[in-house]
Amino acid sequence: MGKQYEGTIERIDGCRWRIPKSHKDGMLVDGVVYASDTLMRQIRTDFSLEQVANVACLPGIVRHSLAMPDIHYGYGFCIGGVAATDPAAGGVISPGGVGYDINCGVRLIRSNLMEADVKPRLKTLIDRLFATVPCGVGQCGQVVFDRRELKTLMRVGSRFVVERGFGFAADVDATEGGGCLSGADPDLVSDRAIERGLRQCGTLGSGNHFLEVQVVQELFDQRAARVMGLERGGVCVMIHSGSRGLGYQVCEDYLRELRDTPRKYGIELPDRQLVCAPVHSKEGQRYLGAMRAAANFAWCNRQIMTHLARQAFEHVFQLRPPQLGMTLVYDVAHNIAKMEPYAVDGGERSLCVHRKGATRAFPPGHADIPAKYRDIGQPVLIPGDMGRNSWVLVGQPGAMANTFGSSCHGAGRVMSRTAAVRSAKGRCIRQELADRGVIARARGRRGLDVELPDAFKVVNDVVMVVDAAGISKRVCQMRPIGVIKG
């Protein structure tokens, strides 16, 4: 996953480390990494810390180049990277700070079912979900849109598919930003990207994407859990997916289109993967318009899969929606860039916040989170791995003060996909998961091998850092009992 980092890194406190801007020429701000001693030993083994330093060279960057404790090597930005740029000071937008899977994200659906209700029919349920929710490379969805509909979907977001019967109005309210980034311009999305998206809305995809049936294992904040409708032993569904081939193509198109833009604006970059454009430039606005359209597609994708998952539950348990109580707790975006206001140098500025493998974590009282969560903070959903556990947290004031309203987004890889497949050789990951009480389904052996639990940091270690740092607070721990993957 890259060579070991050998540069300067200084401890700030029990949760933070600094890469001083003296580390390399061109750094405009320090790098700040959130990690424990144990995690830092892992983090040092790849090139991701150097990527934090590289991001600190971006024009208009504010305060710090940040990395969450799930940091690992990515394209341009590390995964787990956060950076805010000030457009008024020449701040840039970088597709590498969003990633190829635009608005890859996670949503959690709670239910009225308890583990004891589900266990006797768990295998039937997982098989039904696997048959109902399309997953795997190249899989097409049950729901097909024509080009005109797809462009409307990319402009309107979740509300478009909900109004067509794929969910409820409450789902839109429980989705970050109401499931829509304003300013989306589908006309800036290439024909090739649209072609790839025509039959992929409502599909899981492959790689680290999953649909998981989980049980609430332990409560750490009973009040917050009660507001979210979560109780110990309750069964939930977590869905992790993004914008599929459409978003990938948008990223690829604009990396190509912006290739010569830094030279045009006199921007020197330490890594060509950080290709960028001033936010206020024509080039920057074109990318933002297309990126927002792909983000809206991703929200619709997860919304349709929510509808399909509900149908599978209804079929297996022969219960109607009010009896099942499968309500959306929340949906968070991971790979996205958004314009958000923050206090900088005594005044409020609208900043372009890049979150690359990082989750928004707004605190109690923030106007941009649903009213029902305003007293507890925005739900923060942190998936772990197939064999261990995931977490639900809530945003805290420290996130607004220190990380541009951001938290970690998962466990974070410690093993490349190639190394994971090599590690799985001679093993049966499906059986290993079954031995842990997890029923797993995938299109092929590789789907489980590349995501085997050993390939990830221990998510509990990651979550303890953001909790201790006052970025997001633990609410409950979730245990997997069934998973489907591509």
Q: Among 183, 336, 193, which Cα is nearest to 253's?
A: 193
Cβ count within 10 A of residue 330: 22
Res. 5 pLDDT band, cuts 50 70 90: confident
Give the tokens for residue 389. Answer: 């556990």
Q: Among 34, 12, 160, which Cα is nearest to 462's?
A: 34
pLDDT at position 138 over 80: no
Cβ count within 10 A of residue 345: 7
Give the tokens for residue 76. Answer: 């341009």
How long is the chain? 486
Give the tokens for residue 138. Answer: 């190249």
Fold classification of 10-485 is tRNA-splicing ligase RtcB (3.90.1860)
CB-side neighbour CA atoms (13 Å) of 89: 15
Indicate the SS3 state at residue 457. Answer: coil
Determine the average pLDDT of the residues in 471-482. 98
C-alpha to C-alpha distances, 465 to 17, 40, 355, 364, nearest whole angstrom: 12, 11, 18, 20
For 80-93, the pLDDT digits (tens) are: 999 999 999 999 99
Strands 347-356 and 79-85, sheet pairing: antiparallel
- Decide: 450 and 479 in contact? Cβ < 8 Å: no
- Decide: 73 and 1 in contact? Cβ < 8 Å: yes
Catalytic residue numbers? 409
Could you give the angle at the alpha carbon of 360 between the alpha carbons of 280 and 416, nearest 5°?
95
* Residues 6+ positions from 390 with CB-CB distance below 8 Å: 212, 214, 238, 381, 382, 383, 384, 459, 477, 478, 480
pLDDT at position 1 over 60: no
Determine the average pLDDT of the residues in 229-247. 97
pLDDT of residue 346: 87
Q: Which amino acid is at 9?
A: I
pLDDT of residue 243: 97
State which of 41-50, 332-341, 444-453 shows the largest mean pLDDT.
332-341
pLDDT of residue 6: 79
Res. 447 pLDDT band, cuts 50 70 90: confident
DSSP state of 9: -
Q: Which residue has the tokens 């492959």?
A: 206
Determine the average pLDDT of the residues in 254-266. 98
Cβ count within 10 A of residue 423: 16
- Decide: 24 and 69 in contact? Cβ < 8 Å: no
Q: What is the CA radius of gyration of the chain?
A: 21
Res. 3 pLDDT band, cuts 50 70 90: low
- Decide: 479 and 56 in contact? Cβ < 8 Å: no
Beta bridge mates, 476: 219, 392
Q: How far is CA 432 from the centre of its chain?
A: 27
Average pLDDT, the chain: 95
Q: Among 440, 388, 434, which Cα is nearest to 125's?
A: 440
Res. 443 pLDDT band, cuts 50 70 90: confident
pTM higher than 0.75: yes
Q: Would you kindly state where each structural domain of the chain is located, as residue ranges? A: 10-485
pLDDT of residue 274: 98
Cβ count within 10 A of residue 46: 21
Give the tokens for residue 187. Answer: 């006309």
Spatial separation of the C-alpha atoms in residues 15 and 469, rounded to whole Å: 6
Determine the average pLDDT of the residues in 149-160. 98
For 345-403, the pLDDT digits (tens) are: 889 999 999 999 999 999 999 999 999 999 999 999 999 998 899 999 999 999 999 99
Phi, psi of 18 (to 5 degrees): -115, 135
pLDDT of residue 7: 86
